[in-house]
């Protein structure tokens, strides 16, 4: 019997120590509700179920219909193209998975049907035979009412609008082939293009989920992490409404600690730890600062949860510029 004896805490300490030795600056985990907050984690990047498309409402095709786009199974030969498509998509996201050729190969060939989770990669092909993108189906034979698409990526030679209807028909055919039936619902994860959001929300029976799950994130060294992303912060400041800013942004955490970001002519010249209760431009409790850093929420959305916290106009402007709300596309190891 190991309950209430600190085993899990000791395991987390060992993992954190090992990660620190490897130079990791950001940790992510998901699982037990609220549990990981006691180890310094906060929910700060959306994940999981995002949108629902009704396959049951998808009409049958006419017998003589010729699709403009079709699906075919991916193979290791597709890895260079898939890498390029993924990189093209990643430009519009804050955080994305980093796929090596080896990880792509495992994803395509290393998982076995019938064992959950099984990822099935399908290449989107146009009428001329040109490959233009890919989808990733996460199949679970045990779920009779739904199937899940965890990635839908199109490169520069096609569009989401052009491919959508045929890809939905292709997924319906894929489901019939793999399950012998068509599940009523197709679930999309958070990491899809915003054009797909609009198409799904305006389809018969389709909708976007109002309540979403999220990754628990932990940043063990806040100053070190902010130093790492300094070039990104300076690039966001350039050309903004605060370009060339000289001054200080003081961020507190309601625990007698804080961080000072000092700028000189638009350059982040110094980042220092602060001590004390007062003198901050804004203060965030419960690790909610990271919700802003990772684009999960705006400062207004976060402060709506902490109505006893004030924010200066300067802080409101700088936080919006430095840490814009922005979606990520991270599904990690599934």
d(CA 209, CA 48): 10
Q: Do 130 and 205 share a structural domain?
A: yes
Q: Which of 159, 177, 211 is the last residue of a domain?
A: 211
Residues 182 and 83 in one domain: yes
**Which of 189, 187, 195, 197 is closest to 215 using CA atoms?**
189
Residue 250 maps to which CATH number? 3.30.1050
Q: Dihedral sign for Cα 39, 44, 47, 52, please.
A: positive
Beta carbons within 8 Å of 163's beta carbon, 6+ residues apart? 69, 124, 132, 133, 154
pLDDT of residue 334: 54
Same domain for 199 and 92: yes
Tell which of 181, 211, 241 closes a domain: 211
Range of the domain at 190: 49-211
CATH (domain of 73): 3.40.630.30
Q: Same domain for 34 and 60? A: no
Do 97 and 167 fall within a single domain?
Answer: yes
pTM of the model: 0.89
Q: How many domains does the chain have?
A: 2
Clarify whether residues 55 and 37 are in a common domain: no
Same domain, 39 and 53: no
In a shared domain, residues 233 and 257: yes
* Domain end among 167, 187, 211: 211
Evaluated on CA atoms 126, 131, 137, 139, the torsion sign reads positive
- Contact indicator for 262, 272 with CB cutoff of 8 Å: yes
Same structural domain for residues 38 and 19? yes
Residues 35 and 64 in one domain: no
User: Does residue 64 sit in the same domain as residue 175?
Assistant: yes
Kindly give the confidence (pLDDT) of every residue in the chain, 334 residues in length, as a single tens digit, with 9 standing for 90 and above. 778 889 999 999 999 999 999 999 999 999 888 899 999 999 999 998 999 999 999 998 898 999 999 999 999 999 999 999 999 999 999 999 989 999 999 989 887 776 667 889 999 999 999 999 999 998 765 567 899 999 999 999 999 999 999 999 999 999 999 888 889 999 999 889 999 999 999 999 999 998 888 999 999 999 999 999 999 999 999 999 999 999 999 999 999 999 999 999 999 999 999 999 999 999 998 899 999 999 999 999 998 988 888 899 999 999 999 999 999 998 876 5
**Both structure tokens of 325:** 């709300």
Query: What confidence score (pLDDT) does residue 142 get?
Result: 59
């Amino acid at each position: 019997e190991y309950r209430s004896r600190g085993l899990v805490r000791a395991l987390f300490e060992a993992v954190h120590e090992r990660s620190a030795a490897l130079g990791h600056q950001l940790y992510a985990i998901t699982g037990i509700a609220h549990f990981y907050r006691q180890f310094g984690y906060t929910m700060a990047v959306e994940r999981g179920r995002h949108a629902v498309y009704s396959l049951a409402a998808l009409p049958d095709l006419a017998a003589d219909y010729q699709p403009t786009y079709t699906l075919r199974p991916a193979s290791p030969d597709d890895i260079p193209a898939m890498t390029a498509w993924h990189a093209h998509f990643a430009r519009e996201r804050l955080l994305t998975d980093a796929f090596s050729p080896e990880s792509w190969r495992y994803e395509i060939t290393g998982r076995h049907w019938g064992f959950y989770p099984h990822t099935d990669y399908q290449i989107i092909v146009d009428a001329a035979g040109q490959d233009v993108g890919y989808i990733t189906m996460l199949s679970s034979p045990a779920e009779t009412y739904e199937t899940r698409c965890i990635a839908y990526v199109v490169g520069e030679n096609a569009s989401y609008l052009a491919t959508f209807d045929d890809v939905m028909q292709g997924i319906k055919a894929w489901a019939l082939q793999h399950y012998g039936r068509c599940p009523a619902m197709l679930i999309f994860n958070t990491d899809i293009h915003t054009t797909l959001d609009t198409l799904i929300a305006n389809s018969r029976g389709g909708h976007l989920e109002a309540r979403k799950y999220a990754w628990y994130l932990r940043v063990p060294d806040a100053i070190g992490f902010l130093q790492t992303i300094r070039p990104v912060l300076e690039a966001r400041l350039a050309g903004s409404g605060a370009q060339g800013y000289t001054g200080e942004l003081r961020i507190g955490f309601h625990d007698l600690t804080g961080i000072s970001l000092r700028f000189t002519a638009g350059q982040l010249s110094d980042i220092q730890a602060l001590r004390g209760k007062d003198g901050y431009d804004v203060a965030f409790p419960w690790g909610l600062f990271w919700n802003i850093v990772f684009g999960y929420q705006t400062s207004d959305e976060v402060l709506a949860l902490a109505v006893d916290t004030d924010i200066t106009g300067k802080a409101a402007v700088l936080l919006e510029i430095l840490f814009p709300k922005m979606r990520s596309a991270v599904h990690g190891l599934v």
